[in-house]
A and B are shown apart, each in its own frame.
Chain A
Amino acid sequence: MNTSYIRGAGTTRFGRMDGKGALDLMAEAAEQALDDAGLARAEVDGVLCGYATTLPHLMLATLFAERFGIEPSYAHGMQMGGATGAGMVMLARELVRSGRCRNVLVVAGENRASGQQRDNAIQTLAQVGDPDYEVPNGGSVPAYYALLASRYMHETGLTEADLADFAVLMRANASRHPLAQLRTPITRDEVLASKTIASPLKLLDCCPISDGGVAILVSDTPHPACDLAITGAGQAHRHQHLTAVSDTHNFGAHDAAQRAFSEAGRARGDIDYLAIYDSFTITLAILLEETGFAPRGGSAARLRDGAFAPDGPLALNTHGGLLSFGHSGVAGGMSHVAEAWLQMSGRAGDRQISPRRRAFVHADGGVLSSHVSLILERRD
């Protein structure tokens, strides 16, 4: 099988960008990714597009390809909730490994903040709940995660102050990224004092709703300056709905991570960069613990020891994550991969960290429902 490489990435600014539609944001990111990869439009033979809640379309990838001016031999959209971005990178890797494609453009963008009313966005997202058993209760994604948080904190001893420290770290990281949505540093006390959305989650435990686009180019040929291969991938889908969760110590992240590590022939100790989905502070804490990068209930203690700081052994979401870089749907989840690419290729500018060779990427969709893990390794 061929080896698949990350060859380029592009990211728009995240935040409110009135007047720009999903396709505009996708095109802006895709243009940057092609420039970064040094590829012409005609060389792109695969396109994978993430869904956009502001542009529901039966065949978004074909629509995008037409507007963008490419004629791929393979193209379709994908829906895995927040795991879509990592899922598309995983599929792009398979397409390249099998020889089906040489250069796959993975792209997503959405005007999630400016393209709809906030209440509509919240109601659309709440539909990941069961339509008969959950949604009629006045549930929302924050409420589902809050319920899950109450149980996980009860079982592990994680505290609200522990969760707050993750929000503080993500904000500090975003403050160093010029394209991030939320860049003003915050303190633990400010997180704890922010208004309650659904206890124990407060406003600053939740990611914002953003406009933004991200594109990743997956190729059979590495970037001339950085040989970054995708060496392992895994998925797990153990439930859709919160009510159906069968094991709060294996939502599926553990299984997906195990599959990726096994495929790459690597262990946790080989990893020096983390790109972990962080829709809420509790999401980040649970995923770090379940994927084996912190003991149960011990993720915040590791954070306070400096493990996840930009200069730490497991630099985490150095762009600020969904919590502060921003969350524009599928593109939000891809921003972690774009940042890993910039850091690992040594082109992160003022926020460049010490050289990193192996990244672990994990994303979840729904209510810790769909899981995708990736392992990225520098080969040069």
Chain B
Amino acid sequence: MSSTANDKALSFPYVDGLAHGVVRYQRCAACNAAQRLARFACTACGSRDVRWHDASGRGTVFAVSRVHRAPTEAFKALAPYDLVLVDLAEGARVMGHASAGLAIGDAVRAEVFRVADHDLLRFAPDR
């Protein structure tokens, strides 16, 4: 969990989920729309009744980049590393690391690893 994690924070369930090896996302109880990031209200219908759910961790690669120029010392040790945006099966989108060689459209599955005191997602091919 992030050293700054605050259990009152809007995004706490996501950060806490990663600490427990689970990808969490919000879904609107009124219209069922999955939300990206943490929201105060549904982006589709405006309802304030958005609730946290556990995702399966399965999804599809939406975008991918191999990062050679890392922003911090902790990540310079890891570089080059692959970052992806993944569309989860449940409809939300998340950013994470990925095993090398993934392409847009590949089916993937999430695991959690730890860098610089943060629990992070890493996606690998879903076989």
A residues lining the B interface (CB < 8 Å): 119, 122-123, 126, 130, 132-134, 136-140, 142-143, 146-151, 154, 195-201, 241-244, 246
Contact = CB atoms under 8 A, between A and B. Distances in A.
B73 to A, nearest CB: 8
Contact of A137 (B38, B69, B80, B97): B97
Nearest to A122: B71
B2 A147 contact: no
Contact of A132 (B2, B78, B97): B2
Nearest to A136: B118
A139 B65 CA distance: 11
Interface of B: 2, 9, 11, 14-15, 36-38, 43, 62-72, 74-75, 78, 80-81, 83-85, 93-97, 104, 115-116, 118, 120-121
A138 B63 CA distance: 16
B85 A123 contact: no
Contact of A143 (B11, B67, B116): B67
Contacts of B65: 143, 146-147, 149-150, 198-201
22 contacts: A119-B71, A122-B71, A132-B11, A133-B11, A136-B115, A136-B118, A137-B95, A138-B71, A138-B78, A140-B67, A143-B65, A143-B83, A147-B63, A147-B64, A147-B83, A148-B63, A149-B65, A150-B64, A196-B68, A199-B66, A199-B68, A243-B36
Contact of A151 (B9, B78, B97, B104): B104
Nearest to B84: A147
Contacts of B37: 130, 133, 241, 243-244
State the 7 A-B residue pairs at the shortest beta-carbon distance, nearest first.
Answer: A138-B75, A146-B65, A136-B118, A151-B63, A147-B63, A132-B11, A140-B71
Given A139-B71, A198-B67, A147 B94 contact: no
Contacts of A142: 69
A242 B71 contact: no
Contacts of A119: 71-72
Contacts of B104: 150-151, 154
A137 B120 contact: yes
Contacts of A243: 36-37, 85, 93-95
Contacts of A148: 63
A195 B68 contact: yes
Nearest to B75: A138
Given A137-B120, A244-B37, A151 B72 contact: no
Nearest to B92: A243
A322 B87 CA distance: 33
A201 B68 CA distance: 10
B25 to A, nearest CB: 10
Contacts of A134: 95
B63 A126 contact: no
Given A132-B9, A138-B67, A140-B70, 16 more contacts: A119-B72, A123-B72, A137-B83, A138-B78, A139-B71, A139-B83, A143-B65, A150-B64, A150-B65, A151-B63, A151-B85, A196-B66, A198-B65, A199-B65, A241-B37, A244-B36
A363 B8 CA distance: 36
Contacts of B70: 138, 140
Nearest to B78: A138
B14 A138 contact: no
B107 to A, nearest CB: 16
B95 A139 contact: yes
Contacts of B97: 137
A133 B67 contact: no
Nearest to A146: B65
Contact of B38 (A132, A143, A195, A199): A132
